[in-house]
Amino acid sequence: MAKRSLVVVESPTKVKTIQKYLDSGFIVKASMGHVRDLPKSQLGVDPKKNFKPKYVVAPAKKKVLDELKKAAAKADALYVATDPDREGEAIGWHLAQELAVDRKKVYRVTFNEITERAVRAAFVRPGKIDLKKVDAQQARRVLDRLVGYSLSPLLWEKVQRGLSAGRVQSVAVRIIVDREREIQAFVPVEYWSLHARLAGAQPPEFVVTLKEVAGAKASLGDEAATRALMASVEGARFVVRSVTRGERKRNPAPPFITSTLQQEAGRKLGFTAKKTMTVAQQLYEGIDLGAEGAEGVITYMRTDSVRVAREAQDEARGWIVARLGPEYVPGTPPAYRSRGSAQEAHEAIRPSEVRHDPRAVARFLTKDQLALYRLIWERFVASQMMPAVYDTVAADVEAGPCLFRALGSTLRFKGFTAVYEESREDDAPPADEEPEGAIPPLAPGETLRLLGLDPKQHFTQPPPRYTEASLIKVLEELGIGRPSTYASILGTIINDRGYVHRERRTLIPTELGMTVTDRLRPFFPEIMDVEFTAQMENSLDAIEEGKREWVQTVREFYEPFKVDLARARKNMVNEKAGEEIGEACPECGEPLRERRGRFGKFIACSAYPDCKYKRNLPGQERAEDQPTDETCPTCGKPMVIKHGRFGKFIACSGYPECRTTKPVTLGIACPEPGCTGQLVERRSRRGRTFYGCSAYPDCTFVLWQRPVATPCPTCGAAFLTERAARGRVTQRCARQGCDFEREAELPVA
């Protein structure tokens, strides 16, 4: 019997799709991600032996690895077809090590899209595993482990049990904390603007805005100054000084890269970065398109390159000409420039086939998949189109010593806007001179009729809080992290460590997040420094390019870090011991201290554990209500999140007049057949947390372990359950008959 070649991919979703593109000489299997990693229960890195990592096979991966070893023993070649990035390269290297296949028979195949054309082309010209990429991934892994496993015990000792810190996440928290401090320190300044409603010889009426007074830029600091100027203007003649007509072109945005996709999906669809990447992964790995079978409908979604294959550009141009007309395509396809650190071997995120427009594939996609696919498809097609063209007009109007200005803009040619409109940045301030509406035909020297003056009071605004989208933009601009890391960074600091909480899409540091940042900043200036973190990312890129050696790079970081760590252990303030509040314990007479616990600060006796007296801080007896975006269906007042005896719930802010309530859901559908409820967190009468259906008592489904919205890679169930114990997190499938289980490393923040 002839031997076959073994092809290993990361995800089981890809297996069926790729298998159909290859002949019977290949058998495709999934590794389910990493087959081995650093151990969870120990450092796993030896600084004395050139930072040699100790890799172990996770218990949850033993069965998968055994199956791969059996398949490899029957094969005459191994094709590593993991994702085309550092992480995928490292997974492939670990696989080759564990499967013990002759190096000469190990081949590396990569494809930017999971289509028959791309997959077949990759197998025609296979390469070898790139050890420089493996070194870069290994350096990142070792650095993150050294920082996380060194700082976490320090924070446990000095601040609070259960805390941790990380090389990149701590800088992200610092950025959010610094912005919050800016907001807290901000002092608003009053200023006024003045607008005049005018009428010319022809309609319509229009509005002009004060720009200059006596040749200098207008500056109205208060109402008195504004009223005085209005008095001098009301009797003056309003005369057109000049009318300037022109043309403005607006170019399309480049196709998406990982960061811009996460930003736009956040602004337009309300997706978190994690949700964006989860849905994009589904689109990339393969969608069943009916008669065409399973196919990846987008290219690889972890990329920082805006490069586009010429074939894809040609396909887009053909679609545009056929549907919109030849005037919508430029003479030559546009070329966009990537950032300096971008991997140009990759492509931008685009549809794998432009002919699969959103309407054609809508019936095969879920609601979220369709929304994200439409965004990617429209952005790419628009990027290959002509600019939008606007006719502009600016009219300057004199009135005594004052100069007023009106701006108008009319769309003459839709260009790319016929397909796609980019959203405005979350924190982008409005332009100083935006068009204010239609302007009638005007002629220099024409006298206008004043219909009214409209003064407006303003106050300078503090810098806005970050949203996920604007934080990702800042991280990218500063060079912190890479496309594949943004979602995990945000997930860690928001969901896993409680250093930041999300409120109406904005990110606000918690008291704990601010405390940890303040404690780490003086002792670890490099770890908390934005520029140093960006330089480290550049060093990792240099390792991948063969310009640096990974052990030396880690050593240059670790030696000063070790000194900082020793200094912090000796000199960092012990938050857990607390500060005396100048009050004696009512039970034993010893001083009371303000201490920090798992759920925040509280007052306790300094004689603990001999005296166990404690009490809440004033004002912290009850958690504050949190606002939501919902309105009460009964009375129309805002709904808020309240904290009750049995956990969180949503209630009308009009209580007690209105007693409308609803549960806070986890965003996971109840798995019971026919049930339309969502899973919610509840608390039993004895205080134990459990998870039940929002449709109770009609549905009595219950779980005692927390569900997480991660599909089971074995059976496809919509969620896994998660249990943390003894410093480890175990994820299991809750579906009866499925034995999937794995360890998930406690993330560092």
CATH number at residue 52: 3.40.50.140
Does a structural domain hold residue 622? no
Burial (CB count <10 Å: 0-12, 13-18, 19+), residue 178: middle
Contact by Cβ (8 Å): 150, 131: no
Q: In terms of residue numbers, what domain contains 360?
A: 260-383
Q: At 134, which amino acid appears?
A: V
pLDDT score at 345: 62
Q: CATH number of the domain that 176 lies in?
A: 1.10.460.10
Alpha carbons within 13 A on the beta-carbon side of 326: 2
CA atoms 166, 167, 170, 172: torsion sign = negative
Burial (CB count <10 Å: 0-12, 13-18, 19+), residue 488: middle
Whether 13 and 80 share a structural domain? yes
Does a structural domain hold residue 749? no
Contact by Cβ (8 Å): 723, 730: yes
- Residue 288's beta-bridge partner residues? 294
Contact by Cβ (8 Å): 327, 386: yes
pLDDT score at 159: 86
Query: What average pLDDT values come out for the chain (749 residues) when binned by 10 residues?
Result: 80 89 92 90 93 91 92 93 92 93 93 91 94 96 94 89 86 95 94 96 94 95 95 92 95 95 93 92 92 91 92 96 96 85 74 95 95 97 97 95 94 95 63 63 95 95 92 91 84 80 86 91 92 91 94 96 95 81 91 75 86 77 66 85 67 82 81 84 66 81 85 84 67 82 56
Whether 101 and 55 share a structural domain? yes
Write the secondary structure of 495-529 as one string of H (helix), E (strand) and C (coil).
HHCCCEEEECCEEEECHHHHHHHHHHCCCCCCCCC
Contact by Cβ (8 Å): 672, 659: no
Whether 119 and 164 share a structural domain? no
Q: Distance (Å, rounded) from C-alpha 259 to C-alpha 55?
A: 31
Whether 449 and 473 share a structural domain? no
Number of domains the chain contains? 6
Contact by Cβ (8 Å): 667, 708: no
Strands 26-30 and 4-9: parallel
Whether 497 and 352 share a structural domain? no
- Backbone phi, psi, residue 207, to 5°: -120, 135
Radius of gyration, CA atoms only, the chain: 31
Choose the final residue of a domain: 459, 489, 515: 459
Contact by Cβ (8 Å): 625, 641: yes
Q: Distance (Å, rounded) from C-alpha 300 to C-alpha 114?
A: 9
Structure tokens at 175: 């950025």
Does a structural domain hold residue 134? no
Strand order in the sheet with 26-30: 26-30, 4-9, 75-80, 106-108
Strands 106-108 and 75-80: parallel
Q: Distance (Å, rounded) from C-alpha 735 to C-alpha 707?
A: 12
User: The tokens 């012990």 sit on which residue?
Assistant: 574
DSSP line for 341-355:
T--TTS--B-BS-TT
Burial (CB count <10 Å: 0-12, 13-18, 19+), residue 658: middle
DSSP class of residue 467 equals B
pLDDT score at 1: 38
300 is catalytic: yes
Does a structural domain hold residue 621? no
Whether 332 and 349 share a structural domain? yes
Helix (H, G, I), strand (E, B) or coil at 417: helix
Does a structural domain hold residue 409? yes
From the candidates 300, 328, 420, 691, which is the catalytic residue? 300
Contact by Cβ (8 Å): 459, 191: yes
User: The tokens 């094709």 sit on which residue?
Assistant: 79
For the chain, the straight-line distance linking the first and the last C-alpha, in angstroms and rounded, comes to 53
Whether 549 and 639 share a structural domain? no
Predicted structure pTM score: 0.76
Choose the final residue of a domain: 364, 383, 402: 383
Contact by Cβ (8 Å): 295, 115: yes
Q: CATH number of the domain that 369 lies in?
A: 1.10.290.10
Choose the final residue of a domain: 437, 459, 481: 459
Structure tokens at 463: 């810098």
Does a structural domain hold residue 78? yes
Whether 729 and 682 share a structural domain? yes
Contact by Cβ (8 Å): 8, 70: no
Does a structural domain hold residue 477? yes
Contact by Cβ (8 Å): 348, 303: yes
Cis upstream peptide for 429 (omega within 30°): no
Whether 122 and 203 share a structural domain? no
Q: Distance (Å, rounded) from C-alpha 279 to C-alpha 129?
A: 28
DSSP class of residue 671 equals -
Structure tokens at 650: 């949503």
Whether 595 and 543 share a structural domain? no
List Cα–Cα distances, 369 to 187, 265, 448, in angstroms: 44, 12, 55
Does a structural domain hold residue 220? yes
Whether 13 and 124 share a structural domain? yes
Q: Distance (Å, rounded) from C-alpha 17 to C-alpha 287?
A: 9
Q: Distance (Å, rounded) from C-alpha 703 to C-alpha 712?
A: 16
- Which is nearest to 487 in space by CA: 272, 282, 302, 273? 273
Whether 432 and 475 share a structural domain? no
